Structure 1
Amino acid sequence: MNKSQPGWRALLAVLLVLGWIASAHLASSGIGPADLHTVVAVAPLLAAAAALLWQTPLRGAPAWGLMLLMAGGLAWRWGWLRGNLPWLYYLQHLGTHLAMAAWFGRSLMAGREPVVTGLARMIFGDGLSERKRGYTRQVTLGWTVFFVVNALVSTLLFAWAPIEVWSVHANVLTGPLIGLVFLVEMLVRRCVLPPAERPGVREIIEAWRSRQDPGRTTTTRSTSP
C-alpha cells in the first residue's frame, strides 16, 4: 500500500499543475468566474510566502501574523486583483523567470559554484573532471540565458500581442519549453561526456531533491573505470 503513495502523489501533482495551467489560461483570456481564477492565482503566492516564512526565525506566531496580514491585504485589493488577472499572471511569470535567472546566474560569479556543477558533485562526489566542471558551468549559463530570453519573449508578447497569444506562451508552453531545453541538454550531454560522467534522470531528480532538502541523502557514484 505504501509503495503506491508516491505514484498517487505524482498523479495528484500533475493534475494540480494541469488544473492551474487551464485556470491561468482561461483567466488571462477573460473566460470563466473571475473570483475562482483569482483564488487559483494567489494561492501559489501564499503557499510560497508561507514556505519561505517557515524557513526563517519568524516561524510560529510571527509567521502566522504576517500571513494574516498578507491575506488581509489581498482581501482589501480583491476587486483590483479580479479585474487585472492578466497582469497578475504576467507578473508571476516574469518574477519566477527572473528569480530563476538570478539563481543560476549568481552561481556563475567568482568564488561561487555553478548550480549544475553542484548537482553533479552531489551525484559523483568531489571527483569531477575538468571537462565535467566546464560542461556543467556552460549548462548553468544556458539555463540563465533561457530564463532571461523567455522572460523577454513573455514581456514582448504581453505588450504587443493579443492576450490569448501571450497566455498560450506563458501559461501553456512554458512547461514544455523547459522540458525541451532539458531534453536538448541531455542529448548534448550524450555527445560531449563519456558514459561514466553522464548522470541518469533519476540521479538528477534525487540530487535536485537533496539540494532542496539538505536532510536527504544522495548516493554518489564513482567516475573511475
Structure 2
Amino acid sequence: MDHPSIPEEQPGADPQQPDTEPETPADRSDSEPQLVSAAAAGVAPSEHSHSDMPQPEVRFFLPPGPPLPPKRWQRKWKIGIRLGSLIVGVAFVVGAIGALVFGVISSSYFTASGAVEVDCATRAKPFVTDVAVGSPVTIVDARTGEVYGSSTLGDFTALKSGICLVSFEVEDVPVANLYTVRIGKSFEALATADTLRGGALLR
C-alpha cells in the first residue's frame, strides 16, 4: 500500500510564518490616506473665526405684576369723575348736532342785497318816480309769488364815474331758483340767488 508523500521542509524556514513578503513604508503610503495641512494644500485659512461672529442678543422679560391700587383722591372722586366725563360727552354731542342743524339752516337762508341806478340830482330813477330813496323793496318767488322778505331803498352812493346808486338789503331770504324784486309800485326785475348774494345791480 502506497502512502502520500510529505513535502520536505527547507532548512532554516519558520513553519509558523506565511510565505509573504514584509510590508514596506512605501506600500503603506499607497494604501492609507494621509492628512495634509491647509497651508501645504494651498488653501487659505478662513478670514473669520467663530469668535468674530455676532452673538445673539439675550433679553429678559419680567411677567406683569398686579395692578396698582387707585389713589385716595381717585377713590374719593370716582363717581364725580365719571359724571363729569358723561356730562362733557353729552355736551359735545349736543354741540355737534346744534352746529350741524345751524349749518343746514344757514345754508338754506341768505341775505339778499342789490342796488338801482338813479339820477344823482333827484336820487330817483329817471321816468320812474316811485323808485327813489325810501321806496319799498319786496323779494318774492318768481314762480309761486310767495313773499320772502321786504325792506326799503336806503343808502345813496355817488361813484367817481358819475353814476349814482341806491341800495337795499333783505335778510333771511330762503334759497330759491329765481326771484322777482319789486321796488315801488311799477318796477320789477328778475334775479337769482347768486346775484343777490353778491349784490345785484338792477336796471
Shorter-chain TM range is under 0.3
Hey, which of these two has a bigger chunk of helix by percent?
A: 1
Q: TM-score, normalised by structure 2?
A: 0.17
TM-score by length of 1: 0.15
Q: Comparing both chains, which one has the higher relative contact order based on Cα–Cα distances under 8 Å and sequence gaps of 6 or more?
A: 1
